[in-house]
Every structure is written in structure tokens, then in C-alpha cells.
Chains A and B, each alone.
Chain A
Amino acid sequence: MATSSFIHPSLGFILLALILPFLPGRQWKWLLLVPPVVALWSVFTVDPGVYAVLPYLGEQVTLGRVDGLSLIFAQVFAVMSLIGMVYALNVTDKGQHIAASLYVAGSFGSVFAGDYVSLFLFWELMSIGSTFLIFLNRNRASTLAGYRYFLYHTVGGLFLLGGLLLRYQATGTFAFDHILPSDAAYYDWLILAGFCVNAAVVPLHAWLPDAYPRATVAGAVFMCAFTTKTAVYVLARGFAGWEILITAGAVMAVYGVMQAIIANSARRVLAYDIISQVGYMAVGIGVGSALTMNGAASHAYAHILYKSLLFMSVGCVMTALGTDRLEKLGGLAERMPWVAVFFTVGAMSISGMPLFNGFVTKTMTIAGTAEAHFTWQALALEVATAGTFIAVGIRLPYFLFWRKRPEGAIATPPAPLPWNMYLGMALAAVLCIAQGVFPDMLYRYLPFPVEDPYEPWTAWHVLQALLLLGFAGLSVMLMKGVMTIRDGDNLDLDYFYRLIGKAVLALVCRPLAWIDDRWTEAYRAIGLRGLVMLGSASAWFDKKGIDGVVDGSAVTVLGIGRLGAKAQNGNLQDYLALAATLALILFGLVWYLG
């Protein structure tokens, strides 16, 4: 039954984004903490139900579908928004806070959306907000990466839009519910493709390791938490039991760690490992049993905490030393010891080490997948577990913190870090350990009831994890000389996207250039003569009568022209901000007038 007692968590973040530009001084920074606190209160006190059903464009849109599945994602989003805002308190650039707020609002909106119309609107809000978190790093590389990121997400959004409109045409409803694999129509595949872009399903993943390492320090912390996990939520909501996701997830899990093991910048290692970890969730959703669905949801929860902790730690290194390139870093354990401690907590968590939260969530998905007899996919997840430990549990902390500072590495003392960055990391680290030691903290919120609940803390599960991780570690020790750091980057499948882009450009440009050449010739031969005659006639007419009338309007036109010139400055970021603002105004007008 619809009631009005649900405070939608997006509301606070949107309000914050709207008022922030007008607040003077610097004390507005404390306001950043208000929307996360309201969101926490809202998601931990709300009763399941359907809230905020509103008429829009002649349809009913549901902004507040609150049930077990949406709540567990909303809870971790609320926790993460608080951690992220604490970590970002020292950031003076209001633009970053506005972008982050709109982005988080989009995530909450997507999670509580009960229909495709509101889902799409919030989905696009996320896309715009996150794009600005890349642009606002304010360098050439981030501008280009932001543009590519926006292109990928626009394509993904168009898949979703096409799918939902065609679905509406066929079924007469925008309701966003589970789709049985046996009932799948072509439009459902389009929607799935749209979701898979955001989930970074290989081969649609290349935007992630391209963009995240180029976002702002705090922006990457937000981005690593929300985009892919919102996609995991919508996949769990709409596409549970779609077996294609099992294989796709297994490929993601292994591909991600293979790239992570050889990546040369810390944030790129972490970015590739997101693909790997989301792979576990995709497998869990594809299997679709209560155990694996709970595994996917709980792993998303744990992943948000430990991955944000890792991004925060690397963000501290970047803030203190100005880079995350591994060849320029090393020996930081004694120079930034607390950052090393927090990083280690994140690294142990992501590896699934007992006592840390990855252990109680990752193993649930693998056990459920094996129990459902998807043996090879479960084995692939075990391979990815070993690979994750090698990439993030050993290689990254070794090159950043534990090796002696190599020649050529930055020797200057790290710049001091503000207290709030430490507090943000401490909050995430405490939760990573608490959930690992007391898994019921997390399990009590799992959305699907199971007959035989998963028990992570058995002697065998602990021993299995220690054996797998310990001997994977031994393999690295035996091959220490093989693992290296180099200048440069490694190619990914965006190499092929770019080839396609170049081919399309050539296909469009060549005919256009030909037409342009011909037109110029024709213009020279015919047009100019005609224009000269027209010009003489106009001059006569102008002198005789128009001068007086036109002078006044010329001033107006000049003014408009100047305004237009200001707006048309060639900066894609500004066009996007203008378009987003206009879209929000239109959205509001349609709502109000409709």
C-alpha cells in the first residue's frame, strides 16, 4: 500500500546539489554530511512497501519500491555516501560535490525505481554526475577520458531506452520486474545490454579502467562504489537466472585479474579488479538460486566497502605524492604507515582472507555456484580468487609500500593529509573487519530466505581459503623476478572500439569532404556572381530606408551574439552541463504541467 512516510534518499542529495552553488564561505562543507545521515536514517527505519507513486507523462511512476533487495543495496549506498563525503570534506571544489551528490542521487533513484521510466531518468543522472567527476580532475587526459566515458554510457543508455520503449509497445507497461529467461524477447536483450555496459561486462567494460584512474581522487572513491553496483542491482532485479550471465561473469572474473596483474598504475589495478569482483556477482545472479543471489548482494555490499577503502588509500598516496604510477612509488610503509595499514585491510578483504568481509561473501557465491553444478564457472571464480590475491593482496602493496624505495622513485616527503581522509578510511576498515568477524551483521539483511543458511566460519572454509591464498602467495614468491613494473600502459579492447570509431569517421568524412569540394566549386562559379548582384541591390535598399530601423536591432543582435559566443566556447564539459541543466528544467516542467 502506498504511504507517504518514506523520505527518498535521493531528495537530500539533489537539494544539496541545488543549494551548494549559492553558499558562501567554507562552512558549507558540514552540510555535505546531512544527506548521507538522512539517507542512513531513511533506509534503516523504512518499512518495506511501495511509496511515492506519481503520475508522469500519463503513466504511473514508482519512485519508492522498498523491499529486501532494494534495501540491502540502499543500505550500503547510504553507508558509502557517508564514508565518501567524510573522505571528501577537504575538497574545496564545489563542482565535485555537486557532481557526486547528483551521482549518488541517481544511484538511490535507480535502486528504488519500480518502473523503467524513473529508472532511465535516474540512470542518466548517474551517468552525467559521474562524467563530471572525471572532467573535474581538470587535465587533458581526464577531459578525453570523460568524453569517452560519456560516449560509452550514452550508448548503454540508448540500449536501455530502446529496449524499454519497445517493451512498452509490446506489453503496454513500463513495470520493472523480473523477466523469465524463457519469456525473453529482443527488447529484453536490449535492456540487458544497457545494464551490462554499466556492469562492465566483458567486452563492454573498457570504459572502466579507462576512466576511473583519471577521475578526481574523491570522485574515483564514489565511482568505484555506485555505477557497477547499481548495475548489479538491476541485473538481480530483472535478470536473475539468465544463464548467459554465469559465463559472462566467469570471463569477467578471470579477465579482470589478468589485466590487474600487469597494470602499471595503482588505480588501474583496482579498476580492473572491479571487473573481476563484479564477475562474481554476475555469476551469482546468473545461477539465480537464493544462496547465490544472497551471495551476489552481500558481495556487492562487501565490495563497496573494501574497494572504496582501497581507492581511498591510493587516493591518499596521490594526494601526498602526486601520482599512482607504480614505477614512481615504493617504500611508503614507513613514510605513510597508517595508509599502509588501511590499504592492507582493504587488500585482505578483497582477497577473501578470513577475518575480513570478502571471506564471508565471496565464498557464498562460489559455494552456491558449485552446488548448482556450474563446476567450471565455480573453478574460474577460484582462479580469480588466487589472481586477486596476487594482484591486489601481494603485488600492489609490495610495490607501493613494502619494497625498498627504488632508484627513480619519488624521494620527497609525502605531503600531510587532512584528518577527514584518515577518518573515511577508518570507517570503511572497521566495517570490513567487523563484517568479516561477525558475518550476521550483514547476513541479517540478505534478501532471499534459504533453507540451509551458509555458514562461512567452518574449519574447512577457513582452511580452504588459507590454502588457496597461501600457496598462490608461494607461487609469487618463487617467481618474484617475473613480476615487473614498466613505463607505459597495456592495451584493452577499446583498441578495437577506436578502430571502429576511426572507420566510421572515415566513412562519414570522405563523402562529406567530396561534397564540400564540389559545393565550393559550384559556389565560386555561380553563387558569387549572384551574390554580388544581390549585394548591390541590397546596398541601394539599405541606403534609402533601412539604416535607421536596423541600427536599434543591431545592438540587440550583438548582445545575443556575445551571449551565444560565451555559451559556445567549444568546451564539451560546458555543453554537457548546459544540456543536463536544460534536461532537468524540462523534466520538472513536464512533471509540473503534465
Chain B
Amino acid sequence: MSSLGAVFERLRELHKVWRLLFVAVLVALVGLNVVIRPDEAHFGWDATPGFFAGFGLVVGGLLVLIVEKVIRPLIARKEDFYGDI
């Protein structure tokens, strides 16, 4: 394994640290959003602190849930579903 590969393997083992760091960064971002706001609201509510955090969380969650739990079961087929056409 190359040295870079070994670094990546080590980073993977630290996944719990990464997770904590990720959550800490998210909290800091929301904190920053209290002081940093858009000059002009494009959508009406987007000047509210935390709007894009909530938007990302809700939209991301809904997208995954809808496509995985509703759409995928309807459209999943075997790889050779169409045969020779």
C-alpha cells in the first residue's frame, strides 16, 4: 500500500473523531449565521438565522427518504429487465 493509502486507512479508523469534528463545525456555522446574514433576502425567509441549515437538513432528509422508500421500490428491476431490446 502506498504511503498516501496508509494515511487514508488511518483516517478511516478515526471516523468517530471526524464525526465529532463535523458536528462541531456545523454548530459553529449556525453560530456564525447569527452575525453573518444576506444583504437581501431572495426567498423571504432566508435572512432568518439557521434557515439554510434547516433547509439543508429537511430537504436532504426528505429527498433520501422519498427516493429510497417510495420511488426506488416502484422502479427497481433486474439488470437484464429489458432483455435484448
- A334-B6, A337-B8 are contacts. A468–B55 as well, Cβ < 8 Å? yes
- Stretch of A156-164, A280-288, A309-317, A382-390 lying at the B interface: A382-390
Q: Which residues of A contact B56 (CB under 8 A)?
A: 386, 467-475
Known A-B contacts A378-B43, A489-B79; A333 and B8 likewise in contact (beta carbons under 8 Å)? yes
Cβ of A490 < 8 Å from any Cβ of B?
yes
Query: What are 11 A-B interface contacts by the 8 Å CB criterion?
Result: A261-B68, A337-B8, A370-B43, A383-B63, A390-B63, A467-B30, A470-B56, A482-B64, A488-B78, A490-B76, A491-B77
Q: Decide if B12 touches A479 in the complex (CB within 8 Å).
A: no
Residues of chain A contacted by B65 (CB below 8 angstroms): 479, 482
| The one of A367, A386, A390, A477 that contacts B42, using a Cβ cutoff of 8 Å | A367
Among A83-91, A457-465, A561-569, the stretch in contact with B = A457-465
Interface range on chain A (Cβ under 8 Å from partner): 35 or more
Q: Is the CB of A379 closer than 8 A to any CB of chain B? A: yes
Is the beta-carbon distance between A390 and B64 smaller than 8 angstroms?
yes
Q: Report the minimal beta-carbon distance from A291 to chain B, rounded to whole angstroms.
A: 13
Residues of the B chain whose Cβ atoms lie less than 8 Å from the Cβ of A382: 55, 59
* Contact status of A257 and B54, CB under 8 A, knowing A371-B42, A466-B29: no
Question: Contact: A261 with B63, CB < 8 Å?
Answer: yes
Task: Give Cα A390 to B62, complex, Å.
Answer: 12
Q: How far is the CA of A341 from the CA of B84 in the complex (A)?
A: 38
Enumerate chain B residues within 8 angstroms of A333, measured Cβ to Cβ. Answer: 5, 8-9, 12
List B7-33 residues whose CB lies under 8 Å from chain A.
7-9, 12, 19, 22-23, 25-26, 29-30, 32-33
**Neighbour of A472 across the interface among B12, B59, B67, B79, CB < 8 A:** B59
Q: Within 8 Å of chain B (Cβ to Cβ): is A451?
A: no
- Bound-state Cα–Cα, A482 to B71, Å: 13
- B-contact 0/1 string along A485-527, CB 8 Å cutoff: 0111111100000100100000000000000000000000000
Q: A258 and B67 in contact (CB under 8 A), knowing A375-B42, A489-B79, A498-B82?
A: yes
Identify 13 new A-B residue pairs, CB closer than 8 A, beyond the known A463-B33, A475-B58: A144-B85, A370-B42, A378-B42, A402-B12, A464-B52, A467-B30, A471-B53, A473-B60, A474-B56, A476-B64, A482-B68, A488-B78, A492-B75
In the bound complex, residues from chain B placing their C-beta under 8 Å from that of A350 are: none
Contacts of B53 in A (CB 8 A): 467, 470-471
Question: Within the assembled complex, what's the spacing in Å between the Cα atoms of A220 and B77?
Answer: 24
Cα distance, A257 to B29, chains bound together (Å)? 26
Decide: B43 and A479 in contact? CB cutoff 8 A.
no
Contact of A557 with B by CB under 8 A: no
Which of chain B's residues have a CB closer than 8 A to the CB of A479?
61, 64-65
Q: How far is the CA of A460 from the CA of B49 in the complex (A)?
A: 11
CA distance A70 to B23 in the complex (A): 45
Q: Which of A257, A370, A466 has the most CB of B within 10 A?
A: A466
Q: Does A262 contact B (CB under 8 A)?
A: yes
In chain A, what residue has the closest Cβ to B51? A467
**Residues of B with C-beta under 8 A to A386:** 55-56, 59-60, 63
Please tell me if the beta carbons of A337 and B4 are within 8 angstroms of each other in the complex: yes
